[in-house]
Structure 1
Amino acid sequence: MIDAATVERYGFPGHLQSVPDEIDATALPVTGTLPPELHGRYVRNGPNALPGKTSAYFQNGPGMLHGVRLLDGRAEWYRNRWVRTAVFEGRPFVTEDGRLDRSAVSANTHVIGHARRMFALVEAGLPYEVTPELDTVGPCDFGGRLTTAMTAHPKHDPATGELHFFGYGMRPPYLTYHRLDQDGRLTFSREVPVPAGTMTHDFAITEHHALWLDLPVTFQPQRLGSGLPYGWDEAYGARLGLMRRDVPDAPVRWFDIEPCFVFHVGNAHERPDGRVVLDAVRYSPAEFTSLWEVLTRSAPLTGPGARPGQARLHRWTLDPASGTVAEETLDEQEVEFPTLDDERVGRPARYLYTITGTDPRCTGTSTIIKYDTVSGAGSRYEPGGDVVLGEAVFVPADARGRREDDGWLISIATRRDGSASQLLVLDAADLKAGPVATVRLPRGVPTGFHGSWFPDGGSG
């Protein structure tokens, strides 16, 4: 993230400005009625520069966690804390003798829970354990067994309780698959052979498979110093890989697809006929390049040619019997940050929740869009005013036999000038009705990346 001087220099809007300090606030004002079953913490991660250490690359700042504690219909507290990693303390990622210090990372992308522990994640290095009060415990390599980076987008299997994840890098092994058991032990790792170091931000699982995205954004040494040393590689090609995750040495079955890039997967599942369906947010080559030029500061944020990257919800259907893949765009609306009911990960899921207006160049109000992937229908919540919405996290209702969308969506809304923020709680089954409750936060919270709900008695 960046401060006011950098905003003025590079043209970033106020909602991306870093906050200068850590604060605590209690008894937060609530409008409406918070669902009494919401007992826990919503925590969201994102980059936030240290005072006096600004950068043009807002995505590279140290991680900062923003948390809101809800209990018995009250908003008990808000607090924010930097994740105190080795890089926060000034250690370099690449040491003087050329080794990679995987603890010297920003930990600024996501925060998740597993086996009653909380982890702040970034895809370049080790996870950092944090406490429910958002204090940093330290880097975690799961007893020395994790020797690669860890993705910021692991997948929790709702049937087994396992956590599936991977690490990628600029040096071999380029891609490695890992699995934690339900007690948090790293029980399995294997290399996934790919030709080069590609930027692999996300992946998917199904009941029996891991689904890989081997896409044409490769490590390019000449880009070191640009903030993101990866770039579009037209010659690399694009493919999806299907790998049985219950067979230790299973080969990967690759399916060529039209060139594109995917930051974020919605979900994947297996059909009764053996086909595998993947829904994700897709950037065409031109759309990806447009966004990447801004993130690497090779193009201006405003002015002629400053067109936002228009990512769209897309579907690939892989047919292992024929070795073919069908592609279709599900909607022409620009969206990002797809989420779903975590109890449906890797299984058929009817609903996906997305947001609009995530590109730094977008102006006006952003929107939460709920997609019905069965009927093709959609519904939306538009907050009105010059507001930027964060990722919408689904929290299931505490009800037996509930419908898939029985639950709540939680999102942080920040004015585009960065002057104020609210925590929104919406009924996932009725977005058009607007928030059932809003919590006024004590400061403007910078627009960040990803977050999670940590229920009392659950992970973290």
Structure 2
Amino acid sequence: MTKPYISGHYTPAVDEISATDLPVRGTIPPELEGRYLRNGHNAKPGVTPTHWFRGSGMIHGVRIRGGRAEWYRNRWVHTTAFDDDAPLFRPDGSLDLAASAAATHIIEYGGRLLALQEVNLPWELSPELDTIGTFDFGGTLKTAMTAHTKEDPVTGDLHFLCYSPFPPHLVYYVASPAGEIVRNDVIEGAGPALMHDFAITGEHVLFIDFPVVFNPAEQSGIPYRWSDDYPARLGVMPRTGPPRVQWFEVEPSALLHTTNAHVDAAGRIVLDGPRYDRAAWETSWKWWVGAPGYAPVPVAGVTSHRWTLDTATGKAAEERTDDLVTEFPTIDNRRIGLPNRHSYALAFPGGGLDGWAVVKYDHQDGTRRLFDLGRDRLPSEPYFVPAEGGTDDDHGYLMTITSDLASNSSEMLILDAGDLHERAAIQLPRRVPAGIHGSWIPDSDLH
């Protein structure tokens, strides 16, 4: 049986190529000078991973300058796991922090490009996407680093986690803009849960201790399963002072990606994100491992949700905020930890939608807007880039790469984030497999 995560939109690229002077439909906004880079799981030829998340990392990049699409290139992240088949665990049972798939995300930090996978160290790439090597903050990072970091838009500090099935289950880090780890705290009371993401506000860190937990009986290579016996909890910790966590019990659910968190006018903490109930998690997991009976799309039954936490009373409220099936939420990163009016996500078939779409939410008036791509074109996570001089969190552009099965092609779309109309489409020289997370890296951010 062909696994769904290496077929259709997800059929891996088999080689590394480069192309220059890419054709453009429409007009690229002139202030865009930089690189759009997107990561994703792309198995080596002849390899069938046991789980979607185990495919090797491949970066697809588009360089924009002077209103032109200068180049496209795709490169595997040449880690020791990729080049030498280095196993995650050494013969003595210790974790090899360098043996990474490096397939989940790519970010810029301190002028460096870092490909991330949460059970390993980051791998640094050159601006031309050549692999340089592991990055460990000058030897001070001795654990893995989460694939989802949070850069505080006020301080420039980088917040990240290391979670583990073995004690200590959770370690929280803060690194300064200069590249120095300035905080390293073990979080007591956390359990062996899958903590793929977290959130911050200006005053708090939010930990997601939900009932997808370590289970060595899981044979897919990602040893986590839903547990009805594990309580779902959200942890709130002040960003200053000792690492004391206030835990809030909530309804059983899973949360892979947070949209954002902020403190509302009443002083309560508000967290948004696409929520899985047990049925949604187990249906989606079947696709991720290629188990019999998997759904036709990788995400099923996942809907936008909001949790409101009152630290004074210790009470939590939660509500579904939309019925579309969505994942990979994004915002204007200048609003991380602050109130955001708008957010964006990838909408999947289901919940009343026949095809794929980019969705924009207005959290002030409760409305949504869709850029419908139909049944054949699958977009990637929409990444928000502010327009020059733009202050509102929808005054800018959304970048996404499409996989078009009907024409066996791909485009990088630049959408106006205001009304979701197409500003430009860059024709890529190959069909790019559907991927995971990416970033826009302005030239001014690189060394």
Q: What TM-score does the superposition give when structure 1 sets the normalisation length?
A: 0.93
The answer as to whether partners of 2:299 and 2:348 remain within 8 angstroms in 1 is no
Equivalent residue letter for 2:186: E
Deviation at 1:244, TM superposition (A): 0.7
Q: Distance in 1 between matches of 2:364 and 2:202?
A: 19
Q: Distance in 2 between matches of 1:283 and 1:73?
A: 41
Asked whether 1:396 is paired with 2:390, we answer no
Equivalent residue letter for 1:34: I
Deviation at 1:363, TM superposition (A): 10
Paired residues for 1:173-322 under 5 Å: 173-223=168-218, 225-247=219-241, 249-301=242-294, 309-322=300-313
The answer as to whether partners of 1:13 and 1:417 remain within 8 angstroms in 2 is no
3-state DSSP class of the match of 2:444? coil
Structure 1 unaligned runs (5+)?
1-5
Paired residues for 1:371-450 under 5 Å: 371-384=361-374, 386-399=376-389, 402-416=391-405, 419-431=408-420, 434-450=421-437
Q: Distance in 2 between matches of 1:47 and 1:322?
A: 43
Q: Distance in 2 between matches of 1:81 and 1:12?
A: 18
Residue-by-residue CA offset, 1:256-279 (whole Å, 9 max, x unaligned)? 000000011000001232211001
Q: Distance in 2 between matches of 1:14 and 1:417?
A: 11
Q: Distance in 1 between matches of 2:415 and 2:5?
A: 32
Deviation at 1:180, TM superposition (A): 0.6
The equivalent of 1:370 in structure 2 is 360
Range 83-92 or range 51-60, more displaced: 51-60
Residue-by-residue CA offset, 1:98-133 (whole Å, 9 max, x unaligned)? 010011010100000111111000111111111111
Q: Distance in 2 between matches of 1:58 and 1:11?
A: 6
Aligned with residue 84 of structure 1, among 71, 78, 93? 78
3-state DSSP class of the match of 1:419? coil
Counterparts in 2 of 1:418 and 1:172: CA distance versus 1, 3 Å:
farther
Q: Distance in 1 between matches of 2:114 and 2:157?
A: 15
Q: Distance in 2 between matches of 1:307 and 1:10?
A: 8
The answer as to whether partners of 2:378 and 2:434 remain within 8 angstroms in 1 is yes
Q: Distance in 2 between matches of 1:32 and 1:411?
A: 15
Equivalent residue letter for 2:32: L
Q: Distance in 1 between matches of 2:89 and 2:6?
A: 29
Name the count of aligned residue pairs. 445
Structure 2 unaligned runs (5+)?
none
The answer as to whether partners of 2:185 and 2:243 remain within 8 angstroms in 1 is no
Paired residues for 1:41-52 under 5 Å: 41-52=35-46
Equivalent residue letter for 2:330: T
The equivalent of 1:327 in structure 2 is 318
Q: Distance in 2 between matches of 1:430 and 1:287?
A: 31
Asked whether 1:19 is paired with 2:19, we answer no
Aligned with residue 141 of structure 1, among 129, 136, 139? 136
Residue-by-residue CA offset, 1:177-229 (whole Å, 9 max, x unaligned)? 00110111111100112353111010000001100100001111112x41211
The answer as to whether partners of 1:12 and 1:301 remain within 8 angstroms in 2 is no
Taking only the aligned residue pairs, the percentage that are identical comes to 44
Q: Distance in 1 between matches of 2:19 and 2:425?
A: 16
Counterparts in 2 of 1:238 and 1:131: CA distance versus 1, 3 Å:
same
Q: Distance in 2 between matches of 1:313 and 1:416?
A: 28
The answer as to whether partners of 1:13 and 1:416 remain within 8 angstroms in 2 is no
Range 189-198 or range 149-158, more displaced: 189-198
Equivalent residue letter for 1:32: G
**Aligned-pair RMSD on alpha carbons?**
2.0
Deviation at 1:86, TM superposition (A): 1.4
